[in-house]
Chain A
C-alpha cells in the first residue's frame, strides 16, 4: 500500500534506482562469493595437515579476496549515496506537494481540523517517514539482495546444509513477525499518547502568558505528569515487545550456526554430499552472511513501523478533496468582463452557514454601486466577517449569489477574483522576514520610493527609522513589535497591492485613534473611486462611509448613511450613542 503510493516518486528517480539495483546485485554477489575464496584457502591449508600446501594458490586466492572486498566496498558506497539522494529527493517533493495541497484545500476544512494536527502532518510525519526511509531503505534493499545471493550460493555448495540454514531462518522470521504483530497495537497506543502529550505541550506553550498570570503552572504540570506517566507505561511495553525481535533473529542465527556445525560434522563423517571441513567453514560464513542481513532487516522494520502510521496520515492529507480547479474558466468570455472592472457589487438573497443546518446568514441582499465606501456594523456575531469570507469566495454559498459588475463570482476563477480585491484582516499576519519583504510581499515592481511613501502613509516612518536596519530589519516572533504596528504593516501591504476593490475587516482595531486618522486619510485617498468594504467597531472609523449596513443575526436591519441612520434612531443610533454615555 505504502509502496504503491511511493512508486510514482521512485519512478522519477528511475535511472538512479536502476543503477542502485544493479550495484546492489554486484556488491552483494561479490560479498557472497568471498566465502568460496576462503573455502579455497582453507582447503589448501587442510591439505597441509597431511601433505604440503601450495603457497601460490593461497596467495592467489588472498589477492582475489582483497580485490573482491575493495570493489564491493566501492560499489556499496556508491549505492548508498545514490539511494540517499533518492530519499532526500522524495522527501523534498513530498513536502512540496503537501505545501501546494494546503492552498488547494477549501478553507472550510481548516475549521474542522485542529490546526496543530495539520502542522504535525506537514512536519513531524514527513520527518518520520523520510527519516525511516533514508536510514532503512538502503539497509532493507541491500540486505534483501544479500540474502538472495547467499541462498543461491548455499544451495550450489551443499543443498543439505542450505536447507538447515533456511529452516532455522524461517523459524526466526515466523516468531519475530508474530511478535511484531503483537506489538503493533501497543505501538499505536504509544503514538497516540505522544500525540496527546504533544497537543498539551503545544497548547500550554502558546498560552504561557495566561498560565503564568493565572498561576496555573501546577495544574498544567499535574495534567502533564499523569499523561506522561501513562505514556511511560505504553512506551516501555511497546518498546520491549518490539525489541524482542532482535534476540529472536540472533537466536535463529546461532541456531543455524549450531546446526551447520553439528549436522555438517555428521554429514562429513558419513562423507555425504561431498561435505568437508572447508565446506563447513564456508557455510559458517554463509550462515552469518545470511542471518546478519535478516537481523538488520528486522531492526530496520522496527524503525519503519512508526513511519507507516505517519505515511497513512500524509496520504490521507494528500487525498483530501480539493477546491475545484477553476483556472480553466479563464477561457470563459465572462472572466474578461472583469478586465475593465467598475466595481458594482450585488448580494442577492444570500444564505450561508459554517456548520450544516445552522444558518448564519439567512437572507442577505444588498446593492453596492461602484466607488462607494461601504461600512458594515453590528453586534459581535452578527455575521460581518462572514460577508467578507463569502465575497472572497473562501466559502461557498448555500443559496443566492454575489456578483461583481453583474458577473457572478462563482463563474470566474478564484485567482481572477482575488486579483481584483485587496484585503486586510483582523488577525494580522506577518512572517519572519524583513519589513520590506512583509510589506512588498508579492507585489511586483515596488521601488524604494514607493515603499517609503506607503510606510509614511501608514505612519510607520518613525518606527522604521529607529530600527537598526531600517526597512531591512528582520521581524520575527521574538522581536517586540506591537499588535498595532503589525496591523499597520498589513495595511501597507494591501495599499501597495492596490486592487480595484478594498476590504478592511477590523483592520485598525489595535491602532490608536490618532494614528488611525492619519491612515484614514491615506485609505480615503486609496478608496476614492474604488468600491471598499469596512468593518469596524470603532464608529469613528465608519462615520464618513457612503452607505452603512447595520447587521444583526445575519441580516441587514438598517441601511443608509450616518446622518440618516442617526435620525432614524434605531439600532445604529443606539450603538453610536452608547460610546458617549458614562457608565
Chain B
C-alpha cells in the first residue's frame, strides 16, 4: 500500500482531505437527525399536543437529510476523481516501467501476467479506490462521533456499543487475513487459466489435427478446478461477513433496550421519561453505526482482492532494471563507426543455467558483411541480442564503434542499429507507420524514404497492390499479411532507419530464393558502408559474406570466408554439404581454388 501512496499527486491528496472532511460533515448531519427524534419522543411521552414544535423538529430533520445528500453527492465527485486519478497514474507508471524492462526482466514475467497487471489489476484498484474510501472512512468516524455523543448520555450504553463495535472490527480483520492467501491463489490461478487459454487459441490447428480436444480440455479443467476451489475457499470466509455483521447489529439493538430497561427500573420516576427518549435516540445512533459497518461488507471482497492486486502491481514497480543508460553524453554518437567487437564474452540467460555463449572473441570492421552460422540453439541469436544491449553480457565486454556498449545511452546505441528479429513483429496501424517505426535519433522518414526502403526490402510490389498502398491497414501482429510479407516489411523497417549496423536474425527464412537474392543485391547497394551481421541457415545467403563465424554450442569454432572454411572447418563443411550435393561442393571447391 505504501508504494501506491507515492503515486498520489497533490490533487489526489487534496481530494482525499476533502473526502475526509465531507464525510465527517455528512456523518455529523446524519447524527443530528436522531437528536430531533429525542425531542419528539419526549414531546409524545409528556402527552402534549404541540404540532408547532413537532413540525419545527420535522423541518430541521428534513434540512439535515437534504444537506447530507448534497454533501454526499460532492463526496462522490471527489471519490470518482481519486479512483480514476490513481488508476490513470498507476497504469501509466506500470506501463512505462514494463516498457523500460530489458528482455532480462521480461523473462521473469510471462507476457500474459504483465498484461493482467496492467489491465485487470489496475481496473480493480480503480473501482476500490472509488468506492472504498468514503465507506471505510464513514464506519469508524460514525462510530467515534456516535460514541462521543452517547458518552454524554450514558456510559453503560457507550461501553456496550464500543465493545460490540470492537468485536466487529476484530472479526472483520481476522476474516480478511484468512481470505488473503486464497485470493492470492485465485489470482495466480487466473494467470494460469489465461495461459492455458492462450495456448489453446494459438495451437488451434494443431489441436484439430491431433484431435486432442479431450487432452486440452483436461489441462484447462485442472486449472479451472483449482481456480474454482480457490474462489470457493476464499468465499467460505467472506460468506461469514454479512451474516456476522447483521447478527452483531441485532444484538446491539436488543442490548440497548435491555440495558435501558435495567436503567429505567433503577431510576426514580421523574427521570424515566428522559431516559426513555435517550434510549430511543441511542438506538437510532446504533442503527447508523451498524449501517455504516454493514456497508463495509459490500466493499469487503473488493478490498481483499485489491490488496492482492496492489501487491502484484508493486512487484512490477519495484523490479530493478538491470540494463540502463551509460554515462556518455549523446555527443560523439555521430562520430562512431559501425565496428563491433566481442572480448571474452560469456553469457548466461539465468544464474543457474548453463553458458549460452562461451569466451567469444571476434572483431567486425566497419562496412563488413559478416554471417553467423551454426546448429540450432548454438547461440547465434544471443550474439545478436548483446549488440543492441537487449541483454547484458554476463562476463566480458561488447564494443560498438570502439566504445563499450555499457557506456552508450541506450537510445544512441540502438539508434545506430537496424534489427530484424527472427519472428516478424508488426503493430496495428498503417504500413507507413510500421516501416517508419521508432526513432533513430536523427530523422523521421519522408514518404519517399519509406517507399525506397520498401523497394529495397522487396515489399514495394505487394504493398502497391494493396488498397491504400502505404496507408493500408496492418492488423494486430500483422495477421493480414503472409509470413514472407511480414518478413519483408520487418526488413524494410530496419532499412528505413538508415542504420550503421544491420542485424538480421534468420530474417530471410520465409523468403524464396529469388526474393532473397534480389533483396540482398539491393541491400548491398543501399547499405554501402554499413556493417551487416546476418544469422542464416542457407549457405546461399551467407557465402558472399566478407567473413563467416561458425558457432557450435555457444563457442566460435571457425572464422573466415566461405572458401577458407570449406577447407579448414569441419562443422562448416558439414553444413555446406548438407545443402549442396557432393558434386556441387567439389565444383565450388575447384572454382574457389581456381580463383
Measured in the bound complex, the distance between the Cα atoms of B254 and A224 in whole Å is 57
List chain B residues, Cβ under 8 A from A277.
41, 44-45, 280
Q: How far is the CB of B111 from chain A (nearest CB, A)?
A: 5
User: A423–B206 contact, CB under 8 A?
Assistant: yes
List chain A residues, Cβ under 8 A from B40.
261-262, 265
Q: How far is the CB of B577 from chain A (nearest CB, A)?
A: 8
Q: How far is the CB of B170 from chain A (nearest CB, A)?
A: 17
Candidates B65, B198, B415; contact of A119 at CB < 8 Å? B198
Measured in the bound complex, the distance between the Cα atoms of B244 and A218 in whole Å is 52
Q: How far is the CB of A474 from chain B (nearest CB, A)?
A: 12
Q: How far is the CB of A551 from chain B (nearest CB, A)?
A: 11
| 69-108 of chain B: CB within 8 A of chain A | 69, 72-73, 75-77, 79-81, 83-85, 87-88, 91-92, 95-96, 98-103, 106-108
Determine if A155 is an interface residue (Cβ-Cβ < 8 Å). no
User: A42–B115 contact, CB under 8 A?
Assistant: no
Determine if A405 is an interface residue (Cβ-Cβ < 8 Å). no
Measured in the bound complex, the distance between the Cα atoms of B301 and A138 in whole Å is 13
User: B515–A194 contact, CB under 8 A?
Assistant: no
**Among the listed stretches B2-10, B327-335, B373-381, which one makes contact with chain A, having 4 or more residues with CB under 8 Å of it?**
B373-381
Candidates B115, B211, B575; contact of A415 at CB < 8 Å? B211
Interface size of B as a range: 35 or more
Contact indicator per residue, chain A 508-547, by CB within 8 Å of chain B (1) or not (0): 0111111111000000000000000000011110010000
List chain A residues, Cβ under 8 A from B76.
240, 243-244, 246-247
Measured in the bound complex, the distance between the Cα atoms of B511 and A506 in whole Å is 11
Interface size in chain A (residues, C-beta < 8 A): 184
Determine if A583 is an interface residue (Cβ-Cβ < 8 Å). yes
User: A214–B497 contact, CB under 8 A?
Assistant: yes
Determine if A254 is an interface residue (Cβ-Cβ < 8 Å). yes
Determine if A392 is an interface residue (Cβ-Cβ < 8 Å). yes
List chain B residues, Cβ under 8 A from A394.
205, 208
Measured in the bound complex, the distance between the Cα atoms of B65 and A244 in whole Å is 15
List chain A residues, Cβ under 8 A from B235.
80-81, 84, 88, 134
Determine if B260 is an interface residue (Cβ-Cβ < 8 Å). yes
List chain B residues, Cβ under 8 A from A281.
280, 283
List chain B residues, Cβ under 8 A from A335.
none
User: A96–B221 contact, CB under 8 A?
Assistant: yes
User: A34–B578 contact, CB under 8 A?
Assistant: no
List chain B residues, Cβ under 8 A from A493.
210
User: B83–A236 contact, CB under 8 A?
Assistant: yes
Q: Knowing A208-B106, A266-B54, A285-B253 touch, does A431 contact B130 (C-beta < 8 A)?
A: no
User: B79–A65 contact, CB under 8 A?
Assistant: no
Determine if A397 is an interface residue (Cβ-Cβ < 8 Å). no
Candidates A88, A239, A429; contact of B83 at CB < 8 Å? A239
User: B200–A102 contact, CB under 8 A?
Assistant: yes
Measured in the bound complex, the distance between the Cα atoms of B44 and A69 in whole Å is 31
Determine if A114 is an interface residue (Cβ-Cβ < 8 Å). yes
| 265-294 of chain A: CB within 8 A of chain B | 265-266, 268-269, 277, 280-281, 284-285, 288, 292
Determine if A70 is an interface residue (Cβ-Cβ < 8 Å). yes
User: B438–A211 contact, CB under 8 A?
Assistant: yes
Q: Knowing A215-B414, A258-B61 touch, does A442 contact B212 (C-beta < 8 A)?
A: yes
Measured in the bound complex, the distance between the Cα atoms of B265 and A544 in whole Å is 109
Q: Which residue of chain B has its CB nearest to the CB of A206?
A: B111
Determine if A199 is an interface residue (Cβ-Cβ < 8 Å). yes
Q: How far is the CB of B15 from chain A (nearest CB, A)?
A: 10
User: B373–A442 contact, CB under 8 A?
Assistant: no
| 294-344 of chain B: CB within 8 A of chain A | 294-295, 298, 301-302
Contact indicator per residue, chain A 480-513, by CB within 8 Å of chain B (1) or not (0): 1111110110100100010000000010011111
User: A215–B441 contact, CB under 8 A?
Assistant: yes
User: A84–B258 contact, CB under 8 A?
Assistant: no
Measured in the bound complex, the distance between the Cα atoms of B375 and A194 in whole Å is 45
Determine if B24 is an interface residue (Cβ-Cβ < 8 Å). no
**Among the listed stretches A4-12, A339-347, A378-386, which one makes contact with chain B, having 4 or more residues with CB under 8 Å of it?**
A378-386
Measured in the bound complex, the distance between the Cα atoms of B240 and A262 in whole Å is 37
User: B544–A482 contact, CB under 8 A?
Assistant: no
List chain A residues, Cβ under 8 A from B68.
247, 250-251, 254
Q: Knowing A194-B119, A512-B373 touch, does A215 contact B411 (C-beta < 8 A)?
A: yes
Determine if A166 is an interface residue (Cβ-Cβ < 8 Å). no
Contact indicator per residue, chain A 45-85, by CB within 8 Å of chain B (1) or not (0): 11011000101001000100110111011101100110011
Measured in the bound complex, the distance between the Cα atoms of B211 and A549 in whole Å is 29
Q: Knowing A38-B257, A236-B85, A482-B381 touch, does A218 contact B111 (C-beta < 8 A)?
A: no
Measured in the bound complex, the distance between the Cα atoms of B54 and A510 in whole Å is 90
Contact indicator per residue, chain A 287-303, by CB within 8 Å of chain B (1) or not (0): 01000100110011000
User: A579–B513 contact, CB under 8 A?
Assistant: yes
**Among the listed stretches B157-165, B188-196, B358-366, B394-402, which one makes contact with chain A, having 4 or more residues with CB under 8 Å of it?**
B188-196
Q: Which residue of chain B has its CB nearest to the CB of A580?
A: B540
Candidates B294, B375, B421; contact of A210 at CB < 8 Å? B421
Q: Which residue of chain B has its CB nearest to the CB of A251?
A: B69
List chain B residues, Cβ under 8 A from A138.
239, 242
Tell me if A's interface is mostly helix, strand, loop or mixed.
helix
Candidates A69, A266, A480; contact of B250 at CB < 8 Å? A69
User: A204–B375 contact, CB under 8 A?
Assistant: no
Measured in the bound complex, the distance between the Cα atoms of B79 and A466 in whole Å is 57
Measured in the bound complex, the distance between the Cα atoms of B490 and A295 in whole Å is 57
Q: Knowing A221-B99, A258-B62, A480-B356 touch, does A213 contact B217 (C-beta < 8 A)?
A: no
User: A218–B376 contact, CB under 8 A?
Assistant: no
Q: Which residue of chain B has its CB nearest to the CB of A218?
A: B439
Determine if B521 is an interface residue (Cβ-Cβ < 8 Å). yes
Contact indicator per residue, chain A 106-144, by CB within 8 Å of chain B (1) or not (0): 010011001110110011100100000011001100100
List chain B residues, Cβ under 8 A from A378.
512
| 210-240 of chain A: CB within 8 A of chain B | 210-221, 224-225, 228-229, 231-232, 235-237, 239-240
Determine if A403 is an interface residue (Cβ-Cβ < 8 Å). no
Determine if A559 is an interface residue (Cβ-Cβ < 8 Å). no
User: A48–B261 contact, CB under 8 A?
Assistant: yes
List chain A residues, Cβ under 8 A from B57.
262
Candidates B276, B291, B390; contact of A292 at CB < 8 Å? B291
Determine if A398 is an interface residue (Cβ-Cβ < 8 Å). no
Determine if B28 is an interface residue (Cβ-Cβ < 8 Å). no
Determine if A100 is an interface residue (Cβ-Cβ < 8 Å). yes
Determine if B55 is an interface residue (Cβ-Cβ < 8 Å). yes
Q: Which residue of chain B has its CB nearest to the CB of A34?
A: B250
Measured in the bound complex, the distance between the Cα atoms of B241 and A139 in whole Å is 12
Q: How far is the CB of B584 from chain A (nearest CB, A)?
A: 7
Q: How far is the CB of A496 from chain B (nearest CB, A)?
A: 10
List chain B residues, Cβ under 8 A from A89.
228
Q: Knowing A281-B280, A429-B203 touch, does A209 contact B217 (C-beta < 8 A)?
A: no
Candidates B44, B58, B85, B225; contact of A92 at CB < 8 Å? B225
Q: How far is the CB of A315 from chain B (nearest CB, A)?
A: 18
Contact indicator per residue, chain A 32-48, by CB within 8 Å of chain B (1) or not (0): 00100110011011101
Determine if B246 is an interface residue (Cβ-Cβ < 8 Å). yes
Q: Knowing A38-B253, A69-B251, A477-B110 touch, does A203 contact B482 (C-beta < 8 A)?
A: no
Contact indicator per residue, chain B 153-195, by CB within 8 Å of chain A (1) or not (0): 0000000000000000000000000000000000000100111
Q: Which residue of chain B has its CB nearest to the CB of A299?
A: B298
User: B101–A208 contact, CB under 8 A?
Assistant: yes
Q: Knowing A219-B439, A511-B376 touch, does A517 contact B512 (C-beta < 8 A)?
A: no
User: A515–B376 contact, CB under 8 A?
Assistant: yes
User: A76–B246 contact, CB under 8 A?
Assistant: yes
User: B377–A423 contact, CB under 8 A?
Assistant: no
Query: Lowest 7 A-B CB distances belong to which pairs?
Result: A380-B484, A484-B376, A214-B438, A247-B72, A80-B239, A579-B540, A236-B84
Q: A214-B440, A215-B440, A514-B375 are in contact. List 15 more A-B contacts (CB 8 A).
A: A45-B264, A80-B240, A110-B201, A123-B197, A201-B115, A209-B421, A232-B85, A235-B83, A236-B81, A379-B512, A433-B219, A511-B376, A513-B538, A513-B578, A514-B575
11 A-B residue pairs with Cβ-Cβ distance under 8 Å, sorted by A, are A65-B254, A70-B247, A72-B247, A115-B476, A115-B479, A139-B298, A201-B95, A214-B414, A243-B130, A265-B44, A574-B514
